[in-house]
Amino acid sequence: MNGFVFILLNLFTLALLSQGLVNNGANIVFSGAAQIYIDDVTNGNYLTTGTGSITASSTSTITLLKDWINNSSNNGFATPDGGGVVLAGNAQSVGGSTATAFYNLSLTGNGIKTLAVNSTTVGGQSTFTGILSVGSSTLDLNGNRIDITNSAAGAITRSSGYIISETNVAVNPSIIRWYHRTVGGSKVYPFGVSGSYIPFTFSISSTMTNTAAYVDVSTRATATASNLPWAGASNLGGAVNQMFSPNGNFADGSDEVVVDRWWDITNSHPVTADITFSYRGIENTLTPPYDIGFIGPQYWNGSGWISDNLIIGSGAAVVSGATVGSVSASNVSKFCPWVLSSKLSPLPIELINFEANCINKNVVLEWCTATEKDNSYFLVEQSLDGINFTAIGQVFGNGTTNQKHCYQYTTLATSSLVYFKLTSIDDKGLKSNSKIISVASCGNPDENIVIANDGTKEIGLLLNASSDQNIQLYVHNALGQIVESIELNVLKGNNNLRVALNNVSNAMYYVSVYNGNEKLISKKILIADLNH
């Protein structure tokens, strides 16, 4: 079509068959409640190219059974709030080289509707009163963002349908951008997946002050139920670099104490809201007993997890398949990556590192924080089994600070494996825990292991072991080259071993004993009598 096409009757319906409708640079003008019905399930597309557009009233409608393709140089509508589009077929898509700005968009029929172009808009460009009607259909965002310009709570409606936001990459591009502007109230982002409706509710209590303000929300589970990859964009609060679990000896708690679902929330302007997260029971990958306890929301502040799940909200965990659970958080004003974690084992906050090192007869614990909030002190706790901990000391914190601070605590070493953790206590007595670390025996080596040599090719080794284990003995020459490597089996308790050396001559050597990567002892010996 070229030039102008006028459809002037208020209640006129035009049925186009077989080839769909190709708008090759024309301006199709609707009057009143005029309608076009493109009745072809195979070729029933609406395709616009060049400068093609539609001028229509808010009550006019185009219904089609196939795809909407906008390859024109504009957003598809010459009037900012003109017309409605109904996708009434089976599998359909909204795509093209240019994003379309719909006023009303209704999804009916069967099959999944797929968004194939980024920044598609629904709601209008002037009065912002149009509606996205999902109905009983499924809309797959497919790695694209949909913009809802209507700030009313009813801007998105549904019956049994939902919107899919599942894109398993570090920063999810399948986003609903909702322009809440200066309007408050409860807004529901109607997410869902695999037949389950998992809405995200954003109930605004302190509105944004800008008429162009919006809140972006996306959500996803991960294919391997490991919560990887983690979120990583600076506009989402900084790259997530850890999910340490303070209980259960989990170096990484992404499975063990965290529900396998992410929410990325980004606000263009300051706003405060009560929010509710939903997830499926199959996404509860927590390790017992955390899987049947209470869980609460935590957010990544750019350097650590804020363990407000102790106070800002919680919900009983669900564990059964498609059963949907929900957790709410009150008075939230920080928006970035969010997860749901066990209230018995919240992810630790803002720790950059926590390490233990052997120095002489002592274990020296060292840790640094990136930021602190109302941090009164750290409680240092010790355990012999990694489960039952006893407080052994405390170190004062730095209250509230955005600067890096490092701490140190020294305790006497023992002759066995020891576990340590930190508990941060704030001004109100609320606690958050670090990951658990461990250190092997690092007491005075002379008390636990002795190397003896009388100048011959035989070494005596006295060792008091805390358990049955394999150790390695290395012999280095004066140049540092290994001339002998021997693996030894030792039993728990006292061991008196005699080790023959086969590759030595009269010279000076260094004998070292290792347990894995840990050096237990090193001693210089002199081989001077090869007659023995």
How many alpha carbons lie under 13 Å from residue 150 in its C-beta half-sphere? 23
Residue 114 in tokens:
């797929």
Taking 50 as the threshold, does the pLDDT of residue 212 lie above it?
yes
Neighbouring-strand partners of residue 499: 459
Residue 441 to residue 433: CA distance in whole angstroms? 24
User: pLDDT over 90 for what percent of the chain?
Assistant: 39
More confident residue, 90 or 404: 90
Taking 60 as the threshold, does the pLDDT of residue 446 lie above it?
no
Residue 276: what are its φ and ψ, rounded to 5°? Answer: -130, 125
Q: What is the pLDDT of residue 274?
A: 93
What ranges make up the beta strands (E) of 181-268?
A: 185-189, 192-193, 196-197, 200-206, 215-220, 262-267
pLDDT-wise least confident of 13-27, 208-222, 233-247, 491-505 = 233-247
pLDDT in tens, 315-364: 888 988 888 989 988 888 878 889 998 877 666 556 677 887 777 778 88
Cβ(524)–Cβ(453) below 8 Å: no
Residue position matching structure tokens 């396998």: 260
- Counted residue by residue, the chain has a size of 532
More confident residue, 208 or 367: 208
- DSSP three-state, residue 492: coil
Taking 70 as the threshold, does the pLDDT of residue 19 lie above it?
no
Residue 146 CA to its chain's centroid (Å): 22
Q: What is the pLDDT of residue 47?
A: 92
Helices (DSSP H) in 450-509: which residue ranges? none
pLDDT band for 411, please (50, 70, 90 cuts). Answer: confident
Sign of the Cα pseudo-torsion (124, 129, 133, 139, in order) = positive
- 277: closest CA among 314, 311, 306? 314
Q: What is the pLDDT of residue 6?
A: 45
| pLDDT, mean of residues 211-215 | 96
Supply the DSSP symbol for 230: P
Neighbouring-strand partners of residue 474: 485, 512
Taking 60 as the threshold, does the pLDDT of residue 382 lie above it?
yes
| pLDDT, mean of residues 236-264 | 72
Taking 80 as the threshold, does the pLDDT of residue 428 lie above it?
no
Q: What is the pLDDT of residue 246?
A: 53
Count of C-beta atoms within a 10 Å radius of residue 169? 13
Taking 60 as the threshold, does the pLDDT of residue 271 lie above it?
yes
| pLDDT, mean of residues 476-502 | 84
Sign of the Cα pseudo-torsion (260, 264, 270, 273, in order) = negative
pLDDT band for 209, please (50, 70, 90 cuts). Answer: very high
Taking 70 as the threshold, does the pLDDT of residue 235 lie above it?
no
Task: Respond yes or no on whether the N-terminal peptide bond of residue 246 is cis (omega within 30° of 0).
Answer: no
Q: What is the pLDDT of residue 71?
A: 96
Taking 80 as the threshold, does the pLDDT of residue 49 lie above it?
yes
Residue 219 to residue 168: CA distance in whole angstroms? 9
Q: What is the pLDDT of residue 439?
A: 66
Taking 90 as the threshold, does the pLDDT of residue 193 lie above it?
yes
Taking 80 as the threshold, does the pLDDT of residue 445 lie above it?
no
Return the exposure string of 127-153: e unless at least 16 CB atoms fall within 10 Å of the residue's CB, then b.
ebbbbbbbbebbbbbbbbbbbbbbbee
Residue 29 to residue 18: CA distance in whole angstroms? 22
pLDDT-wise least confident of 74-78, 156-160, 320-324, 342-346 = 342-346
Taking 70 as the threshold, does the pLDDT of residue 486 lie above it?
yes
pLDDT band for 210, please (50, 70, 90 cuts). Answer: very high
Q: What is the pLDDT of residue 96?
A: 97
- DSSP three-state, residue 198: coil
Residue 254 in tokens:
């992404």
Regarding pTM above 0.75, the answer is no
Cβ(400)–Cβ(374) below 8 Å: yes
pLDDT-wise least confident of 222-226, 300-304, 382-386, 422-426 = 300-304
More confident residue, 411 or 433: 411
Beta-carbon contacts of residue 69 (< 8 Å; ≥ 6 apart): 45, 46, 47, 48, 95, 96
- DSSP three-state, residue 126: coil
Residue 100 to residue 92: CA distance in whole angstroms? 15
Q: What is the pLDDT of residue 281?
A: 94
Taking 60 as the threshold, does the pLDDT of residue 465 lie above it?
yes
- DSSP three-state, residue 178: strand
More confident residue, 246 or 454: 454
pLDDT band for 213, please (50, 70, 90 cuts). Answer: very high
- 356: closest CA among 377, 376, 389, 382? 382
Cβ(137)–Cβ(131) below 8 Å: no
Residue 366 CA to its chain's centroid (Å): 28
Q: What is the pLDDT of residue 387?
A: 72
- 64: closest CA among 26, 10, 25, 100? 100
Residue 474 to residue 510: CA distance in whole angstroms? 8
| pLDDT, mean of residues 367-392 | 81
Residue 355 to residue 179: CA distance in whole angstroms? 46
Residue position matching structure tokens 């209250």: 399
Q: What is the pLDDT of residue 9?
A: 36
pLDDT band for 383, please (50, 70, 90 cuts). Answer: confident
Q: What is the pLDDT of residue 211?
A: 95
| pLDDT, mean of residues 80-101 | 94
| pLDDT, mean of residues 405-418 | 80
Query: What domains can you pick out in the chain, each with its CATH number?
Result: 351-439 (2.60.40.10), 445-527 (2.60.40.3080)
Residue 112 CA to its chain's centroid (Å): 27
Residue 460 to residue 496: CA distance in whole angstroms? 7
Residue 300 to residue 314: CA distance in whole angstroms? 17
| Secondary structure of 341-365 in HEC code, one letter for each residue | EECCCCCCCCEEEEEEEEECCEEEE
Residue 375 to residue 431: CA distance in whole angstroms? 10
Average pLDDT, the chain: 83
Residue 130: what are its φ and ψ, rounded to 5°? Answer: -75, 165
Taking 60 as the threshold, does the pLDDT of residue 11 lie above it?
no
- 65: closest CA among 31, 110, 33, 100? 110
Residue 58 in tokens:
């808010």
